[in-house]
Structure 1
């Protein structure tokens, strides 16, 4: 059984993802949870603290597979592809993350930039650069950060735009079948860029 704090985080995550930070009130969250607004302060000191906890919880889910890959014995094409597959599935399991980040990018939210940097920054340290070279051996090193951003955008925009794709795909874009097809597409794209052989 979930604690009250977990129920608050779940409700806040849904609302922040649907409406954005500014348009969501603590009263909205309390109504969904079924408690009085003052009770929220027993768990979170204000809306900013609640929002930060929501984003932190989401980022921690995505951060672990990246660290796991980068701290492995070898950053190989195989490990990069396994990481990508995990990330696609994480996005499907946590669609609120892409929606929440989109709201933050368009209309703001406290500390979102710093929190997202924590998720992305490891790709730009020494081991992260090895992964970039495996994934995007583009010749021009200056292109690699843009390639990482582009791949991230492909995965995230699929979920934020999914309601518009439903009729075009003639299936539920959140279905298990669509998930498998999107995962296959991302991996084929990565394999195409990397080429059939390991890059040195």
Structure 2
């Protein structure tokens, strides 16, 4: 069955879901402060007072958008941490994350706006999405010991790779002409994935040599 046929057979989205979809896009485009409930209502095609039947105010709507994104994007790290931490599984997790950000660039864009101008619940979002990756109590089962041979570097490694993945989403459109292709095409994504994996493999190799030195 084609993707269009599958879409045609899905039940219509509820009003609340359509509000969340529109709000997510707008918050990603403009940030929290620059988005009004009237903007969201206009995009959904309903009157502003109707929004209050589903979300009591803009903050509640923003938090609901963030909660939905956290649910979608926190699954892969939870799955990784549920089993043995090996080089192969970390590479698989990284590929999943890269593909997930390409499929939905809104999280990276929302985080960029939040980093620059704030927004309610940002600290909660950071705790839920990134705190698990900062945990240095788990080590690789196929090569015991801290990442990079120094547990204190793990947060910096996490930030570096998160920046590499998410800054591509927010900045790559500026380089569209230089790339000579759509930065969100399958081909471009494969190139980004190849780079990220190459860098992570280099970290693994450095770590191995460091432990032997």
Taking structure 1 as the reference length, what is the TM-score of the superposition?
Answer: 0.92
Residue 198 of structure 1 and its aligned partner are, at CA, apart by 7.4
Does 2:52 correspond to 1:41?
yes
CA distance in 2, matches of 1:174, 1:104: 23
Residue 16 of structure 1 and its aligned partner are, at CA, apart by 0.4
Structure 2 SS opposite 1:130: coil
Runs (4+) of structure 1 exceeding 6 A deviation are 133-136, 196-200
Corresponding residue for residue 173 of structure 1: 183
Mapped contact 2:147–2:153 kept (Cα < 8 A): no
Alpha-carbon RMSD across the aligned residues, in angstroms, is 2.2
Corresponding residue for residue 130 of structure 1: 139
1:97 maps to which of 103, 107, 121: 107
Q: Deviations over 1:132-189 (max 9, x none)?
A: x889732332211111001000101001012211011111101111111111111111
Does 2:119 correspond to 1:109?
yes
Mapped contact 2:22–2:40 kept (Cα < 8 A): yes
Corresponding residue for residue 82 of structure 1: 92
Mapped contact 1:95–1:159 kept (Cα < 8 A): yes
Corresponding residue for residue 153 of structure 1: 163
Task: Name the count of aligned residue pairs.
Answer: 197
Corresponding residue for residue 60 of structure 1: 71
**Larger Rg computed on CA atoms:** 2
Taking structure 2 as the reference length, what is the TM-score of the superposition?
Answer: 0.86
Q: Deviations over 1:6-42 (max 9, x none)?
A: 1101100110011110110000000000000011011
Corresponding residue for residue 16 of structure 2: 5
CA distance in 2, matches of 1:197, 1:57: 36
Mapped contact 2:70–2:125 kept (Cα < 8 A): yes
Q: Deviations over 1:89-142 (max 9, x none)?
A: 111011011111000000010011212211111123366x426x8897323322
1:194 maps to which of 197, 200, 204: 204
Tell me: CA distance 1:134–1:85, structure 2 relative to 1, closer, same or farther (3 Å): farther
Tell me: CA distance 1:134–1:35, structure 2 relative to 1, closer, same or farther (3 Å): farther
CA distance in 2, matches of 1:107, 1:23: 10
Gaps of 5+ in 2: 1-11
